[in-house]
Amino acid sequence: MEHNILLTTIRGPIDSATVKAHAQVRARCFDELAVTKIASIVIFQSSMRVTPDALELFSQVIKNHKAQSDKTLFIAYVAELDIEDRAISCDLIQAILTENEVGWRAFEKLEDAQAWAKEMVTVS
């Protein structure tokens, strides 16, 4: 955690246990911050394939955050273009985040994601 930005790495494929674990870590970290804007950068390794139950759980986690938190959430994903199921998963995740008005972007390089996330949490 640095500058209100949580950095995590996930080795796919992604199942509901992965989503649950990541959501719990993010919630614990973000609950302790006395700020209104927070960001999460997730680095994907090997695969972004997501199971249907994991996608459903992710949607519920995002809806719960929006309903229960007064903090604005921004999410950046970092995955090389050749990561398994990158395009498909990004489209599915983008639909969920857009529906819930969560700022989101996918990047190939960590440095680009960090710059974007830092800008999001510091912009007035």
Note the pLDDT of residue 114: 96
Q: 53: phi > 0 → left, psi -120 to 50 → alpha, else beta; which?
A: alpha
Determine the pLDDT at residue 110.
97
Domain ranges of the chain: 5-122
If 0-12 CB within 10 Å is exposed, 13-18 middle and 19+ buried, where does residue 72 land?
middle
Beta carbons of 54 and 18 less than 8 angstroms apart: yes
110-121, pLDDT tens digit by residue?
999 999 999 999
Encoding tokens for residue 20? 């649950």
- The strand pairing partners of 84, in sequence order, are 47
CATH number for 5-122: choose from 1.25.40, 3.30.160, 1.10.260, 3.30.750: 3.30.750
| Interval 14-56: pLDDT, tens | 999 999 999 998 888 887 777 889 899 999 999 999 999 999 9
Task: Output the pTM of the full model.
Answer: 0.89
pLDDT of residue 124: 55
**8 A C-beta contact, residue 15 and residue 38:** no
pLDDT per residue as tens digits for the range 55-111: 999 999 999 988 988 888 999 999 999 999 999 999 999 999 999 999 999 999 999
Sign of CA dihedral 49, 53, 54, 60: positive
